[in-house]
A and B are shown apart, each in its own frame.
Chain A
Amino acid sequence: MQERSTRPHSLKDTVTHYCPGCGHGIAHRLLAESIDELGIAERTIGIAPVGCAVWAYYYLDFDMVEVAHGRAPAVATGLKRARPDTVVFSYQGDGDLASIGTAEIIHAANRGERITVIFVNNGVYGMTSGQMAPTTLVGQKTSTTPLGRDPQVAGYPMHVCELLSQLRGCVYAARAALSSPANIRTAKKYILRALGTQLDELGFSIVELLSPCPTYWRMEPAQAMEHINEHVVAEFPLGEIKTPDSGEAEGIGAGAGAEATLCVRS
């Protein structure tokens, strides 16, 4: 019987270690599909974070490198500056990107590094058992906010896309949600557009994906998706926060004059 697989070529057949209903599986698939559709798999280098997706390299079939917590944008800079002919993506969770990695993400964006960041925002630290993250909602209970996040103590959820969109080097910042069929289709559109800005050498791109964490939200997977639609989106509005067409992107950043810094070893 002829079967049509729904697994993209660049996603390995390996069953993932992610929890049932975790958004990582969907995000990985969308990223792999997008890279395959753009025909760039053979020149892609991906960076795996510290977090639940530390083993992303077991699933994504690209040249991959696993790096220290939060440092992916700096490693991406080192990769892309050395090999401007490659397509570089980093795949990071909210603790990795918005907590320990705040300096790295801001400066990579500020320099307009020609990289694409997939930012999986599930509002908790999953791998280490559900601690508060910079994007945890006010009142959300986590293992380090047992009474719910109190903004007087821990501040308010951090809006990464909006933050980075202030920087000229960031040419594309979009937020989607892995919380419904329609939202998932939109997420893929944004990922394709983000990669497109890298291929056009315009600057830094980021797609933030609101993602369900059924385990540490203590919800069933379907309920977790509803939670995103009903509550998370209220805090983190969906949409393309910044695009190259919004008139601010001028093709700046790493690569402008890249001829002088091209450095390729075969």
Chain B
Amino acid sequence: MAKGEIAKFDFERCKGCRLCIAHCPKGALAVSEVPNAKGHFPVVMADASKCTGCGICALVCPDCGITFVCVAAAEEEAKK
């Protein structure tokens, strides 16, 4: 994974399997309290400052639900 990237989770694509949470070495993730349109409770980034962009979440994700964005852009997005 490229430096300066963090994970971004596709809320509608996620099936809530939580494999990413189980394997995230930094405990950066959490389960959403609201479901998506399909009724799954997706995984969301709980604490972006903990994400190192290691890519393990994407490795275990069966649904390609994770993309990577550069940290700066993610921070910009979060401010909006």
Contacts and interface: CB of A to CB of B under 8 A. Distances in A.
A250 to B, nearest CB: 36
Interface stretch (A22-30, A120-128, A254-262): A22-30
Interface string A1-28: 1111111000100011011111111100
A22 B62 contact: yes
Interface in A174-190: 180-181, 184-185
B46 interface: no
A11 B70 CA distance: 24
A217 to B, nearest CB: 13
B17 interface: yes
A21 B17 contact: yes
B11 interface: no
A2 B22 contact: no
Nearest to B68: A4
Given A20-B15, A220-B18, A222-B18, A4 B2 contact: yes
Nearest to A59: B64
Interface residues of B, number: 31
Question: Mostly helix, strand, loop or mixed at chain A's interface?
Answer: mixed
A20 B73 contact: no
Interface in A22-75: 22-26, 29
B28 interface: no
Interface in B37-76: 40, 55-56, 58-64, 66-70, 73-74, 76
A216 B41 CA distance: 21
B63 A2 contact: no
Contact of B62 (A21, A220, A222): A21
A3 B64 contact: no
A29 B13 CA distance: 15
Given A1-B74, A185-B59, A6 B16 contact: no
A1 B18 contact: no
Interface string B5-30: 10010000101111101110000000
Interface of A: 1-7, 11, 15-16, 18-26, 29, 180-181, 184-185, 214, 220-222, 225
Interface of B: 2, 5, 8, 13, 15-19, 21-23, 40, 55-56, 58-64, 66-70, 73-74, 76-77
24 contacts: A1-B69, A1-B76, A1-B77, A2-B69, A2-B73, A3-B67, A3-B68, A3-B69, A4-B67, A6-B58, A6-B64, A7-B64, A11-B64, A21-B15, A21-B17, A22-B62, A24-B62, A25-B61, A25-B62, A29-B62, A181-B56, A181-B59, A220-B18, A225-B60
Given A3-B67, A6-B55, A181-B59, 14 more contacts: A1-B74, A1-B76, A4-B69, A5-B64, A6-B61, A6-B66, A16-B62, A19-B15, A20-B40, A20-B62, A29-B62, A181-B56, A221-B22, A222-B23
